[in-house]
Each structure stands twice: as C-alpha cells, then as structure tokens.
Amino acid sequence: MKQQDFFIVWSKLHGDAKVAGIVKAWLIISFALVKPLSKLKFTPNILTLLGLFFGVLLYINAQSPWAALLLVLSLTCDGIDGSLAILTSKFSKWGALLDSTVDRITEVFWLITLYKIGADIKLLLAIAVFASVQEYLRARAGGLGMPQVGVVTFAERPVRASFIFIALVASAVDIAIIPQIVILWLLLQVISFLMVTRFLFLNLR
C-alpha cells in the first residue's frame, strides 16, 4: 500500500476526516513505523497488547530512569496499531473493541504509576473518572450513529500521556512539581469532558 492510499483509507475510517497539519505529520511517521513491522508479520492486536505490556512494565519500574521511555513505547504501540491494521487490511470490529478496552486498562497503569511516584490518589481518581466518561461518551455516540470523532479537546490521550511523561522526568531529576502537574491535568480534563458533553448534546438532540 502506498502512503497516499493509506491516507485515503484512514480518512474513510475516521468519518472522512481531513488529513492535514499535525494529523498528517503523525500519519507519515506512523506509516514509516509500521512498514517494517508488517514485513516482520506483526499484527495490530500484538501491538495493542504490547502497549499494555509496556504500561505494566512502566508501573513496575515507575521510579526507574527508564520509566519515561517505557511510557513512550506504550503510547507508540497504541498509536500505530490502527495504522498497521490499515496497512495490512486486518482491521475488524473485534480489533477495534480490543484496542479501546486495552487503552482504558493501560491508562489505569499509567495513573497508578503517578501514584507510585507521589501523586495524590484522590486527584488521580478524579482524572480517571472524567477521562473514562469522556471516552465512554464518544464510544456511546458512535453506537448511536455519530461517525465523526467530534471536538478535539485539551486532554486527548497523547496529551494525557504528556502530563505523565513530564511528571516522570520531574521525578527522575528530583523536581517537586508533581502536585501542580496533576492539578493542571485535572483542570484540563474537566474542561475537556465539558467540551465533549456540549458537542454531543448539540449534535444528538
């Protein structure tokens, strides 16, 4: 499959979303990463489960100098499994369900990693609730026939991972800013939840 064909299929699978800007840049990177993986006979589901595997390793090694790298590997595996599915024409409803389920489980390990390095458990629970409900609303809207992703918020999954990455680096170099990071994340997560709720209310009435 050529790169342009890859863009076309991705767009159709995402409600004819426009491939431009940051999205296009990521898809170019993603396409380059999955090309060799397809030749090595990796499957999308293997990448999905590898994302969880690295998430568990992250939790186990939360205070390791390699923690941030494990987070990057976990996020990358999750970010390119869909691209590999497109490239190999192995996308299925089961794969999509597995991907979304594993995403939520992996994020639990990300959050308890923050707890392990000193974050307040109550704030983390609040983040978990708002993030999970936000993703549930989108999934439920899709089940009701809404094809598009909807509004892009301040706390999408890559942004959530970025907060964790910054906290891990801060912990590694002994900078005491984890409470501030978590509070800012919670604030943006609440705003993002409200953005998604408003979008769905206006489009599903």
**25-39, 68-82, 112-126, 131-145, range with greatest mean pLDDT:** 112-126
Q: Quote the DSSP letter at residue 43.
A: -
Q: Which pLDDT value is given to residue 17?
A: 67
Q: What is the largest CA-CA distance in the chain?
A: 50
In angstroms, rounded to a whole number, what is the distance separating the alpha carbons of residues 46 and 38?
A: 12
Structure tokens at 188: 């943006």
In angstroms, rounded to a whole number, what is the distance separating the alpha carbons of residues 127 and 9?
A: 33
Q: Which pLDDT value is given to residue 15?
A: 63
CATH for 103: 1.20.120.1760
For 89-121, the pLDDT digits (tens) are: 887 888 888 988 999 999 999 999 999 999 999
- Among the ranges given (2-11, 61-70, 141-150, 154-163), the one the predictor scored with the smallest mean pLDDT: 141-150
For 19-66, the pLDDT digits (tens) are: 777 677 878 888 898 889 888 888 999 999 999 999 999 999 999 999
Using pLDDT thresholds of 50, 70 and 90, give the confidence band for residue 4. Answer: confident
Tell me: pLDDT of 133 over 70: yes
Average pLDDT over the chain reads: 89
| Structural domain for 193, as ranges | 3-204
CA atoms within 13 A on the CB side of 36: 3
Domain count, the chain: 1
Please indicate whether residue 67 or residue 92 has the higher confidence score (pLDDT). Answer: 67
